[in-house]
Amino acid sequence: MNNDLPVSIIIFGASGDLTQRKLVPSLFNSFIKGRMPGKFRIVGYGNTAFTDEQFHAHLGEAMKQFASFEFREEEWNTFAPNLTYQQGRYTDLADFKRLSDTIGKWESGSGNRLYYMATPPGIFPNIIDLLGLTGQLQEDGGWRRVVIEKPFGVDLASARSLNLQIHKALNENQIYRIDHYLGKETVQNILVARFANTIFEPLWNRNYIDHVEITVAEQVGVEHRAGYYDKVGVLRDMFQNHLLQLVTLVAMEPPASFESNALRNEKVKVLNSIQPLKSETVALNTVCSQYKGYREEEGVKSDSTTATYAALRLQIDNWRWQGVPFYLRSGKRLAEKISEIIIEFKEPPHLLFPNARGGMTANMLALYLQPDEGIHWRFEAKVPDTAADMRSVDMEFHYADSFGKTSIPESYERLLLDALTGDASLFTRADEAETAWGLIDPILEYWDAQNTPLSTYELGSWGPAEADEMIARDGRAWSRWQQH
Ligand code: BG6
């Protein structure tokens, strides 16, 4: 494929939220950094009627509101002429032909094309069909790639049929299933911490690690997304993708190389090693709950049983992790916005110091994914001027201190550039998406079949008491490291 050809980035769902909040700010910032292809054009496609000028003005306003970097009018004025808009329907062959003509004229010859599905998921298959029927997926010396937003299906059966359908029109290496967690610097740094250092790996196994906790907590509620969220709930929205992706990165074996398939093979191996929960084990190993007042939110059904919080206890059946539970929790309307991974080590085998109050405290390693990105070690130290008292102390690395406050770009920036350069390492492969659904399906089925009302939790809390009880059954408690 010729990478010097002009590049068209076609965004379906261009008048929507994702385009203005994430996609265009990310492309704009890449442009400012000089990372966009030499000749490119962004074609927005959507239902709303916009002229090019209106589209520029609409996005310009959004930039001021949502961009995580300083907005400069002169930079925007240089970038905006690369943006164009076409109003169209997602079911109309003639509209797609028009789109094809517009792009073809601009390319005047061959061109590379990235199609981005930023529409509601029900529309993806239609778009791919119409692109196929109008010859727009045909490679002509230039490449054709498709980025597909989550959720990729709503369960294993629908993910399978979506894969079958898109594989009719595209090869797997043309498909980029996006999970924005993989674009986060701190998530990629899990691999660097593990595989570019010698100090962690010897300890990274069942001999030294007691358990792993992954928390993705949000303060916000369902906001204006009830139409989507009330149908999916937290297991589909957060666990099938983001949380299970984090598990794979923490648990995977070192890949043979940093090549996309080598990396993804190792991740799929982890997913395949997770003990699937069966209907009789779901109740003991999972908790689902809903925040108080959720049913009164605009757009939520008044008898909704959608879970806005879940906690899972997973076991990975392999040599490295046998007997080390992974506790996962995520929810909306919790006390803080924080995404963290805590590795709790085993206690030393013997208590040498008689004055140690309250016994031993295990060492902990915390990977803070957001908002205060960094890595912290917690270990024991002697309290000065005592015979042998000990206290836990922290050694902390903060990205902001080492790399500056503005060092962390928006995750979509990296992912869009990777899709443009053809690097699929940080995207989910077909088998990966399906294996993850295979783990979530039995949990969904169990909770859907319950006739008892879902438990509720207080706004601004750390979730329902049942989640504390679940981990307490193992003689453990959720870590409250940064919450002090
Ligand atoms: C999205 C979910 O994928 O991730 C949202 O659909 C959630 O419900 C969001 O709020 C959280 O992402 P982040 O990057 O803010 O942790």
Query: What is the pLDDT confidence band of residue 68, given thresholds at 50, 70 and 90?
Result: confident
pLDDT at 158 over 70: yes
Domain identity same for 311 and 441: yes
Check whether residue 255 and residue 351 sit in a common domain.
yes
Per the prediction, the chain carries an average pLDDT of 94
CATH assignment of the domain containing 230 = 3.30.360.10
Q: Which two tokens stand for residue 410?
A: 């928006």
CA dihedral 83, 89, 95, 100 (to 10 degrees): 50
Judged against a pLDDT cut of 50, whether residue 483 lies above it is answered with no
Please check whether residues 234 and 119 belong to one and the same domain.
no
Once rounded to an integer, what is the mean pLDDT over residues 234-255? 98
Nearest-atom number in ligand 1 for the CA of 411 is: 14
Q: Which atom from ligand 1 is nearest to the alpha carbon of 242? A: 3
C-alpha dist (Å) from residue 315 to 345, 386, 409 = 17, 42, 34
Domain boundary among 94, 125, 149: 149
Give the pLDDT band of residue 370 (cuts 50, 70, 90).
very high
User: Residue 378, CB half-sphere, CA atoms under 13 Å: how many?
Assistant: 20
CA-nearest residue, atom 15 of ligand 1:
218
How far apart, in Å, are the Cα atoms of 135 and each of 130, 132, 345?
Answer: 9, 5, 56
Do residues 132 and 119 touch, judged by C-beta distance below 8 A? no
Last residue of a domain, one of 103, 126, 149: 149
Pair 313, 383 in one domain: yes
Note whether 410 and 326 are same-domain residues. Answer: yes
Distance (Å, whole) CA 322 – CA 320: 6
Tell whether 276 is covered by a domain: yes
Ligand 1 mean position, distance from CA 180 (Å): 8
Residue 175 lies in a domain: no
CA of 150, closest atom in ligand 1: 3
Q: Is residue 402 part of a domain?
A: yes
The set of protein residues with a Cβ atom below 6 angstroms from ligand 1 is: 218, 237, 339
Q: What percent of the chain has pLDDT above 70?
A: 97
Whether residues 108 and 191 share a domain: the answer is no
Give the C-alpha distances (Å, rounded to integers) separating 196 from 115, 258, 462.
35, 12, 34
Q: Is the pLDDT of residue 73 over 70?
A: yes
Residue nearest (by alpha carbon) to ligand 1 atom 10: 218
Q: How far is the CA of 181 from the centre of ligand 1 (A)?
A: 8
Q: Indicate which atom in ligand 1 lies nearest the CA of residue 184.
A: 14
pLDDT of residue 52: 96
Q: How far is the CA of 415 from the centre of ligand 1 (A)?
A: 16
CA of 258 from ligand 1 middle (Å) equals: 27
Question: Which residue's CA lies nearest to atom 9 of ligand 1?
Answer: 238
217 CA → ligand 1 middle, Å: 10
Is residue 297 one of the residues assigned to a domain?
A: yes
**pLDDT tens readout for residues 196-237:** 999 999 999 999 999 999 999 999 999 989 999 999 999 999
Owning domain of residue 51:
7-149
Mutate to test the pocket of ligand 1, among 26, 148, 180 (most ligand atoms within 8 A of CB): 180
Mutate to test the pocket of ligand 1, among 21, 238, 369 (most ligand atoms within 8 A of CB): 238
Which protein residue has the closest C-alpha to ligand 1 atom 14?
181
Q: Is residue 396 situated within a structural domain?
A: yes
451 and 322 within one domain: yes
350 — pLDDT class (breaks 50, 70, 90): confident
Counted domains in the chain: 2
| Within a domain: 476 | yes
- 95 and 197 housed in the same domain: no
Confidence at 453, pLDDT banded by 50, 70, 90: confident
Confidence of residue 352 (pLDDT cuts 50, 70, 90): confident
> In terms of domains, do 264 and 385 share one?
yes
Given the CA of residue 228, which atom of ligand 1 is nearest to it? 6
State whether the Cα torsion 140-104-427-236 is positive or negative. Answer: negative
On whether both 243 and 386 belong to a single domain, the answer is yes
Q: Are residues 454 and 317 in the same domain?
A: yes
| Distance (Å, whole) CA 104 – CA 101 | 5
151 preceded by a cis bond (ω within 30 of 0): yes
Each residue of 269-286: b (16+ CB within 10 Å) or e?
A: bbbebbeebeeebbeebb
Residue of 220, 237, 306 best suited for mutating to test ligand 1, as the one with most atoms within 8 Å of CB: 237
Start-to-end CA distance of the chain, whole Å, equals 54
Cβ atoms of 252 and 270 closer than 8 Å = yes
Q: Is residue 164 part of a domain?
A: no
Indicate the range of 98-112, 135-149, 341-355, 444-458 predicted with least confidence.
341-355
CA of 203 to the centre of ligand 1 (A): 31
CATH number for 75: 3.40.50.720
- The protein residue whose alpha carbon is closest to atom 13 in ligand 1 is 181
With a cut of 60, say whether residue 307 has pLDDT above it. yes
Same-domain check for residues 192 and 113 = no
Q: Which of 127, 121, 138, 61 is nearest to 88 (CA)?
A: 127
Which of 242, 309, 330, 339, when mutated, tests ligand 1's pocket best, judged by the most ligand atoms within 8 Å of its CB?
242
Provide the annotated active-site residues: 242
Distance 218 CA to ligand 1 centre (A): 8
Atom of ligand 1 nearest to the CA of 218: 10
pTM of the model: 0.95
Q: How far is the CA of 137 from the centre of ligand 1 (A)?
A: 30
Residue 359's pLDDT is 64
pLDDT reported for residue 166: 94
Closest ligand 1 atom to residue 220 Cα is 10
Token couple for 479: 């870590």
Nearest CA, atom 5, ligand 1:
237
pLDDT at 441: 97
Residue 16 in any domain: the answer is yes
* pLDDT confidence of residue 484: 37
Q: Please count the other Cβ atoms lying within 10 Å of the Cβ belonging to residue 345.
A: 16
CA atoms within 13 A on the CB side of 361: 19
